[in-house]
Amino acid sequence: MIVGDRKPFAEIKESVQGCKKLLIAGCGTCVSVCMAGGEKEVELLATELRMANKLKGSDVEIGEVTIQRQCDREYIEPIVDMARGYDEVLSMACGAGVQLMADMFEPLPVIPALNTRFIGIAEEEGIWAERCRACGQCVLGRYAGICPIARCPKSILNGPCGGSQGGRCETDPNRDCAWALIYDRLSKMGLLDNICVVAEPKDFRAQDFPARQINEDYVKAEMEEVHATEK
């Protein structure tokens, strides 16, 4: 999932200063799971802003809405008309969600209330950890399901570096060395030969910005349907 965290309240307050009718929009998927931008967080932020406005004596109308996904047109469409009744939208989604909302609500300003951090997993309750940097050339199969790009701070492909000590990373003694983890798991799997092969440098052209992915079968089927309806 995409992990984000809420911006400091002072920054959020500043970003919506002067707005008289504000819609706070949550996202019910990734950022809801990491407790940054779901329904509860929308409610909390709305309450904080209402209190801050009351203390300042400013009269601001604040609406609240949470949709299933802000990165999917299908879920945004039903709230477009409603959103147009506001002066600004404060989105509690990841950066992708904020951008699609901004495209669909144009020219309404859509302001981010979160900082998007990484693609990760829930390690334990309340703790999320980065697991993937979307490099476009996945090597997990070779390294026992442990990503050296995301889990080693130096993203070393032929590790470990000289700083690995007792299974810990030299950048932080509380952090496992990704390469120690890879070694241990490959060893249990009887696949240590995998790290005897020198990994070639990654082809960074695979990590294209901006990246796009097209499912040819799906697009073709959609086009055929359109042509059939036109006949």
Chain residues that interact with ligand SF4, rule: CB under 6 A: 132-135, 138-140, 147, 149-150, 152-154, 156, 159-161, 163-164, 169-171, 177-179
155: left (phi over 0), alpha (psi -120 to 50) or beta: left
Distance CA 133, CA 157 (A): 14
Distance CA 60, CA 50 (A): 8
Using the minimum distance from each CB to ligand SF4, give the nearer residue, 37 or 148: 148
Sheet holding 88-91: strands in order across?
Answer: 61-67, 21-27, 88-91, 110-112
Distance CA 152, CA 165 (A): 14
Here the tokens at position 139 are 């090597």
Using the minimum distance from each CB to ligand SF4, give the nearer residue, 198 or 228: 198
Using the minimum distance from each CB to ligand SF4, give the nearer residue, 13 or 133: 133
What number of residues does the chain have?
231
**Least Å distance between CB 161 and ligand SF4?**
3
Using the minimum distance from each CB to ligand SF4, give the nearer residue, 172 or 224: 172
**Least Å distance between CB 138 and ligand SF4?**
3
Using the minimum distance from each CB to ligand SF4, give the nearer residue, 17 or 165: 165
| Nearest in space to 24 (alpha carbons), one of 98, 96, 81, 133 | 98
**Least Å distance between CB 175 and ligand SF4?**
7
| Nearest in space to 38 (alpha carbons), one of 9, 7, 67, 75 | 67
**Least Å distance between CB 48 and ligand SF4?**
36
Contact 164, 179 (CB under 8 A): yes
**Least Å distance between CB 121 and ligand SF4?**
11
**Least Å distance between CB 114 and ligand SF4?**
22
Using the minimum distance from each CB to ligand SF4, give the nearer residue, 70 or 164: 164
